[in-house]
Amino acid sequence: MLQDIGGPVPPNTDHAVSVSLPTWKANVGYEEGEPWVISKMQCGYPRFFVHPTIKELAKEVVQCYGNPNTESAMLFPSAKTAHICRSFILSRLSTGDSHSVRVVEFVPSPRPKSESANVTSLLSCVIYPNELASVAKQVWQHTGNGVSSRRGEFCHSALRDGFLVEKKSTATDTVAQRICKGPRRYQGKNTVNGAFRAGGTHTSPTDSSMTTDGVRDGREHIQFIEERFGRNLNTSLADQAKRAVRKRIAGVLKADVELSEALNTTSEEGRVAGLTESDVFLFPTGMSSIFNSHQMLLAARGAMKSICFGFPYIDTLKTLEKWGPGCLFYGNGSTEDIDDLEARLDSGEKFLAVFTEFPGNPLLKSPDLKRIRSLADKYDFAVVVDETVGNFLNINVLPYADIVVSSLTKIFSGDSNVMGGSAVLNPHGRYYSSLKDTFARDYEDNLWAEDAIFLERNSRDFVSRIEKINSTTEEITEMLQSSPLVKNVFYPKCNPSRPLYEAFRHPNGGYGGLFSVTFYSTAQAVAFFDHLEVHKGPSLGTNFTLSSPYTLLAHYGELGWASSFGVEFDLVRISVGLEDISDLRYRFQQALEAVAKVKT
């Protein structure tokens, strides 16, 4: 099953979420930036590796609106998200002209002139000097707000075909015409007087089939673009898909139903009494749901430090540290940590919210959420729980949280071909009213239409998938625990924190599909990883088993720091998929036999 380095995982997938790094050496080479690995990277995890289509689109924008020799661009779905990036870059500038960092917005064209000031951007680009690329990349990675590869693909073709226009320009001055005024590399058989033809049809706003208000044959301009672009991007279908996804997350939608049934199919009650789809908000990535939940809390409650409790997914901590007043970090997530927090609260310190994962990643340790909730009620702070690893079919943490966030990229989708995230408000939370008002005022739906359609389709069978994965993972972890070659297995069922997990486990819920394993030497860990015949790459919650040397990938520049919280640098993380259990057991046994051959 050894895949080529840098290929998409799953294979032959244009919008794959993971990438093949099939050996331990390849993972180290990737982190070290070695050419023999980097030169082969066709894709990567989207918040760490910018998709080739997005790179090409950014290059196109800079060629039209910047200096391709000295400038780069980062692409976002809205003006708001682009200005968040611009503000972050400017905050890191020691010297220099702030005008060198600017936002260019694109909207559909043609459009009514009367709408030019208010029409929503389809694409917003931050152009900046090349030397600031590493700063811009932080925004892309930590916020999760960047454009998706499907949006990038759509906008790239629309840009080339003249269907996008800079927001400040006139309705007749398309991007295509701007390019033709400069380098004339796009002029050819499909242009007429400097305007583009799409599919051989003249697309100038002076087309006789176009009315004076910019609407062709009575259709909205967005529909016109979709049809002329030749893609099946039915916006009404996308809206229906988003509603179905929200209902599934709210827990008021039965599984295994088609979209046509989904909108009218509900169970008797949701995850908590009173929860409806209107309390569920969708985002383009899981990190975007965390970043924006933090921003909403700051807007609703004022500027205060947050608390990151337990060893977190790294970008959660970075978001809390870099946006807002800062963060108090409790990396062990222990009883002693809660004692220290309580002492701080008792002395008068104020905090915005506790952000925690249930269970954590990669040690699968569960925090004492009941005690955290008790302190929150007493000392007035919010609780935000990331349930991505546990997932709401196994656990129910919403009654003890104000906001529950999740990466829909993972088990909810499973197919590893689309990104998405969600934030759910607890209708009984003390901040529900103020948060609902803040979301109503500030929330942007930036989940791209095609991505929503894929999420809806992929998630129809998530109940049966999770049940199978739960069962298989329990068998595999028991097998590894019984081996004298294995040092530790980190899994909610066998962790010391199991009682804390059990307090929130549904009666029929399991322990999830993610676990980590360590060995008595790095050589053993390398042998196990290299000989385990499963897909190798970042991400989790996939329908196929996926493995990675997690600490190396997530914390390569801070291995000592991670180790101080019990996260060993040679830890191997495994996300179990839907393979037949006997086949999977055989593969793990083969990997253990390779470990046995390592001389210690």
Instruction: Round to the nearest angstrom and report the end-to-end CA distance of the chain.
Output: 28
Task: Give me the pLDDT at residue 162, please.
Answer: 83
Which domains does the chain show, CATH number per domain?
Answer: 52-166 (no CATH), 236-459 (3.40.640.10), 463-597 (3.90.1150.10)
Residue with tokens 């993971």: 18
Task: Give me the pLDDT at residue 258, please.
Answer: 55
Task: Give me the pLDDT at residue 209, please.
Answer: 34
Nearest CA among 188, 220, 194 for reference residue 206 = 194
Contacts of 288 (CB under 8 A, 6+ apart): 143, 144, 145, 421, 446
Digitized pLDDT (tens) for each residue of the chain, 600 residues in all = 568 999 999 999 999 999 999 999 999 999 999 999 999 999 999 999 999 999 999 999 999 999 999 999 999 999 999 999 999 999 988 776 788 999 999 998 765 554 445 667 899 999 999 999 999 999 999 999 999 999 999 999 888 888 888 987 444 444 434 433 333 233 333 332 222 222 223 233 333 333 333 333 334 545 544 554 445 556 678 899 999 999 999 985 444 555 555 555 555 456 788 899 999 999 999 999 999 999 999 999 999 999 999 999 889 999 999 999 999 999 999 999 999 999 999 999 999 999 999 999 999 999 999 999 999 999 999 999 999 999 999 999 999 999 999 999 999 999 999 999 999 999 999 999 999 999 999 999 999 999 999 999 999 999 999 999 999 999 999 999 999 999 999 999 999 999 999 999 999 999 999 999 999 999 999 999 999 999 999 999 999 999 999 999 999 999 999 999 999 999 999 999 999 999 999 999 999 999 999 987
Residue 68 φ/ψ, nearest 5 degrees: -65, -15
Task: Give me the pLDDT at residue 192, please.
Answer: 29
Can you tell me the distance from the alpha carbon of 496 to that of 103, in angstroms, rounded to the nearest whole number? 50
How does pLDDT run across 294-342, given as a tens digit for each residue? 999 999 999 999 999 999 988 999 999 999 999 999 999 999 999 999 9
Can you tell me the distance from the alpha carbon of 598 to that of 528, in angstroms, rounded to the nearest whole number? 10
Instruction: Kindly give the residue spans of alpha helices, DSSP state H, lying in 33-78.
Output: 35-38, 52-65
Strands (E), 324-452: 327-330, 353-357, 382-386, 403-407, 421-425
Compute how many other C-beta atoms are within 10 angstroms of the C-beta atom of residue 506.
12
Task: Give me the pLDDT at residue 357, please.
Answer: 98
Task: Give me the pLDDT at residue 233, please.
Answer: 56
Nearest CA among 341, 323, 322 for reference residue 331 = 341
Helix (H, G, I), strand (E, B) or coil at 322: helix
Residue 70, CA distances (Å) to 73, 106, 128, 305, 341 in order: 11, 22, 9, 38, 48
How does pLDDT run across 139-198, given as a tens digit for each residue? 999 999 999 999 999 999 888 888 888 987 444 444 434 433 333 233 333 332 222 222
pTM above 0.85, yes or no: yes
Can you tell me the distance from the alpha carbon of 335 to that of 355, in angstroms, rounded to the nearest whole number? 16
What's 210's DSSP letter?
B
- Chain length of the chain: 600
Angle between helices 235-250 and 449-458 (to 10 degrees): 50
Residue 37 sits at the vertex; the CA angle it makes with 539 and 535, to the nearest 5 degrees, is: 35
Task: Give me the pLDDT at residue 97, please.
Answer: 73
Structure tokens that stand for 82 in this block: 């682009």
Q: Which long-range contacts (CB under 8 A, 24 or more apart) does 251-259 make?
A: 251/275, 251/392, 252/276, 252/277, 255/460, 255/461, 255/462, 255/463, 255/464, 256/460, 256/461, 256/463, 256/464, 257/460, 258/460, 259/456, 259/457
Half-sphere exposure of 436 (CA within 13 A, CB side): 15
Cβ atoms of residues 167 and 105 within 8 Å: yes
Half-sphere exposure of 592 (CA within 13 A, CB side): 18
Structure tokens that stand for 360 in this block: 């954590």
Residue 303 C-alpha from the chain's centroid:
25
